[in-house]
């Protein structure tokens, strides 16, 4: 396979994209588990479609541009998992094509080849959850655009005013996935060490980064929701952690081969660094800085899953190239790639389809939406779940803003605070739930603090479920 993609002809794009679709087609045509984050994103899109404002009327930490995309998806397709996966495939196609195009047109490697696109395409299939339209996936597209602009600066004697685009793309990426804001460090260090950027150009880059944030802040200021924006997005990135959704074993297995090949490629590069021109060496160094920065973003992830590590794919694919380029025996490189290819796809399909009987490896069980605790008779109702388990929302709609439990604690776990009780009462009055599913045992205390709410609800025969009278 390596030999086939080693040549550089335009028709190879068809082969590369055909291989990508061939890998994904079995899962696009076959139903596989709905994941809790996917359900969460669908609910956000649905709520915005109903006229609710993110952060004020929907308490969730999803970044604003991602929420805007989910709103568009809900408007066009409703709660469609196939639509999410189809849109993610289009984004994947863009990233593979752009990465391969950029590498070759800018002569980042000594020879033009389709290996970069092939490796990028393979590493995008770390796990079946990487097939969904995640904020990280969308954010990485703009980080690649920032990389492309930065490469143009590396290829010149001095930086130009195009550095504004670098900051702007990173700002957009951060509004899709907030931890991507750390990539402004990557941009500044790259400009500092590898270009002749002036203070004015640093300022331009920083202004480009801040401009999308300023526009977003102004929007929420005009809607008198700046405090909600700050609490549910900016501050939440440092405190909202849903590690109960994490499957550490599957995560480690999914990253083992790409990271292993990337490290081998980096070591191989160190042994042969003298054969590359100055421009190519600078690209190697800014890719190393990318990897360091993306490692820093892991501390800001709301939960740990393979889909959250898609921003690792560009540096992993980039450095893996040097490993295969450095293998002297073509048959050995081919064999190594085929083994890696088969193992990655085996894990990919095992997670979605459970190919290995009795094995939960790669299934991401903690991330899957479980059967609803509510009976089948309760469907298409407006409900409130107090707790982390969102499964009851699968066939019902959210009432009140309290979607993300870590953020909802600000009110629902603070019932000794008079202002919190007033907030809850106001939210119930505006959007009363038909059913309340209390997994955190707060309703009884809430009803003591707000007797008017207690008069509106009664306990059902189902444990921890309250029904509107």
Q: Could you tell me the pTM of the whole model? A: 0.95
- Strand 465-468 versus strand 382-386 pairing type: unpaired
Residue 111 phi/psi, 5° resolution? -120, 145
Q: Say whether both 215 and 74 belong to one domain.
A: yes
Q: Do residues 345 and 429 share a domain? A: no
Same domain flag for 339 and 448? no
Instruction: List the domain range (segments joined by +) for residue 392.
Output: 382-468
For residue 228, the tally of other CB atoms under 10 A from its CB is 20
Domain count, the chain: 2
Is the residue at 79 inside a domain? yes
pLDDT of 200 reads 84
How far CA 47 is from CA of 40, 53, 177, 257, 467, in Å, comes to: 11, 8, 20, 40, 22
What tens-digit pLDDT sequence spans the chain (469 residues)?
888 888 888 888 999 999 999 999 989 888 888 999 999 999 999 999 999 999 999 999 999 999 999 999 999 999 999 999 999 999 999 999 999 999 999 889 988 999 999 999 999 999 999 999 999 999 999 999 999 999 988 776 556 678 899 999 999 999 999 999 999 999 999 988 887 778 888 889 999 999 999 999 999 999 999 999 999 999 999 888 887 788 888 999 999 999 999 999 999 988 876 678 888 899 999 999 999 999 999 999 999 999 999 999 999 999 999 999 888 888 999 999 999 999 999 999 999 988 888 788 899 999 999 999 899 889 999 999 999 999 999 999 999 999 999 999 999 999 999 999 999 999 999 999 999 999 999 999 999 999 999 999 999 988 899 999 8
Per-residue three-class SS string for 339-357 = HHHHHHHHHHHHHHHCCCC
Same domain, 393 and 337: no
Edge to edge, what strands does the sheet with 382-386 contain? 397-398, 382-386, 435-438, 465-468, 457-459
Residues 339 and 439 in one domain: no
Domain membership of residue 363 (yes or no) is no
344 with 430, same domain: the answer is no
Q: Is residue 136 part of a domain?
A: yes
Contacts of residue 234, defined as CB under 8 A and 6 or more positions apart, other chains included, come to 178
Provide the 3-class DSSP secondary structure of residue 58. strand
Domain final residue pick, 336, 353, 370: 353
| Residue 37 within a domain | yes
Q: Are residues 210 and 301 in the same domain?
A: yes
Tell me whether residue 365 is in a domain.
no
312 with 443, same domain?
no
pLDDT score at 29: 86
Domain boundary among 338, 353, 368: 353
**Predicted pLDDT at 194:** 82
C-beta of residue 119 within 8 angstroms of C-beta of residue 317: yes
- If asked whether residues 61 and 203 sit together in one domain, one would say yes
Rounded distance, CA 140 to CA 91, Å? Answer: 10
Q: Is 399 helix (H, G, I), strand (E, B) or coil?
A: coil
Give yes or no: residues 401 and 291 share one domain: no
Q: Look at residue 359 and tell me if it is in a domain.
A: no
Q: Are residues 204 and 342 in the same domain?
A: yes
Pairwise CA distance, residues 105 & 90, whole Å: 22
User: Given this model, what pLDDT does residue 383 score?
Assistant: 97
In a domain, 368, yes or no: no
pLDDT of residue 156: 67
- Residues 410, 460: one domain? yes
Determine the pLDDT at residue 364.
92
Q: Does some domain include residue 366? A: no
Token representation of residue 19:
């291989």
């Amino acid at each position: 396979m390596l030999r086939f993609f080693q040549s550089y002809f335009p028709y190879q794009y068809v082969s590369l994209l055909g291989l990508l679709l061939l890998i994904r087609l079995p899962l696009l045509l076959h139903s596989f588990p709905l994941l809790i984050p996917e359900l969460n994103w669908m609910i956000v899109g649905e709520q915005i479609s109903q006229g609710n404002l993110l952060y004020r009327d929907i308490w969730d930490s999803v970044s604003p541009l991602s929420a805007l995309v989910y709103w568009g998806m809900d408007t066009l397709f409703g709660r469609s998992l196939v639509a999410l996966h189809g849109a993610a495939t289009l984004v994947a196609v863009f990233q593979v094509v752009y990465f391969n195009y950029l590498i070759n047109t800018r002569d980042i490697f000594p020879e033009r080849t389709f290996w970069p696109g092939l490796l990028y395409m393979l590493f995008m299939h770390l796990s079946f959850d990487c097939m969904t339209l995640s904020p990280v996936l969308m954010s990485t597209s703009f980080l690649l655009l920032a990389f492309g602009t930065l490469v143009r600066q590396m290829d010149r004697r001095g930086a130009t005013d195009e550095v504004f685009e670098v900051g702007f793309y990173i700002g957009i990426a951060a509004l899709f996935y907030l931890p991507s804001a750390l990539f402004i460090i990557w941009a500044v260090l790259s400009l500092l060490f590898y270009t002749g950027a002036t203070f004015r150009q640093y300022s331009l880059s920083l202004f480009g980064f801040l401009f999308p944030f300023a526009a977003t802040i102004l929007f929420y200021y005009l809607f008198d929701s700046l405090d909600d924006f700050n609490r549910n997005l900016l501050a939440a990135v440092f405190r909202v952690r849903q590690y109960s959704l994490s499957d550490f074993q599957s995560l480690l297995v999914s990253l083992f081969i790409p990271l292993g090949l990337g490290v081998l490629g980096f070591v191989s590069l160190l042994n042969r660094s003298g054969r590359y021109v100055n421009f190519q060496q600078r690209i190697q160094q800014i890719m190393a800085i990318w990897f360091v920065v993306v490692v820093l973003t892991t501390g800001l992830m709301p939960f740990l899953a393979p889909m959250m590590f898609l921003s690792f794919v560009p540096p992993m694919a980039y450095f893996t190239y040097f490993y295969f380029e450095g293998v002297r025996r073509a048959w050995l490189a081919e064999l190594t790639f085929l083994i890696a290819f088969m193992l990655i796809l085996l894990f990919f399909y095992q997670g979605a389809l459970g190919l290995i009987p009795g094995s939960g490896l790669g299934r991401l069980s903690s991330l899957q939406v479980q059967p609803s605790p509510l009976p089948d008779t309760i469907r298409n109702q407006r409900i409130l779940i107090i707790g982390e388990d969102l499964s009851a929302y699968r066939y019902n709609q959210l009432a009140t803003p309290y979607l993300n439990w870590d953020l909802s604690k600000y009110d629902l776990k603070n019932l000794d605070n008079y202002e919190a009780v007033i907030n809850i009462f106001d939210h119930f009055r505006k959007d009363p739930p038909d059913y309340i599913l209390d997994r955190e045992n707060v309703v009884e205390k809430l009803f003591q603090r707000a007797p008017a709410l207690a008069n509106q609800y009664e306990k059902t025969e189902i444990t921890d479920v309250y029904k509107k009278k």
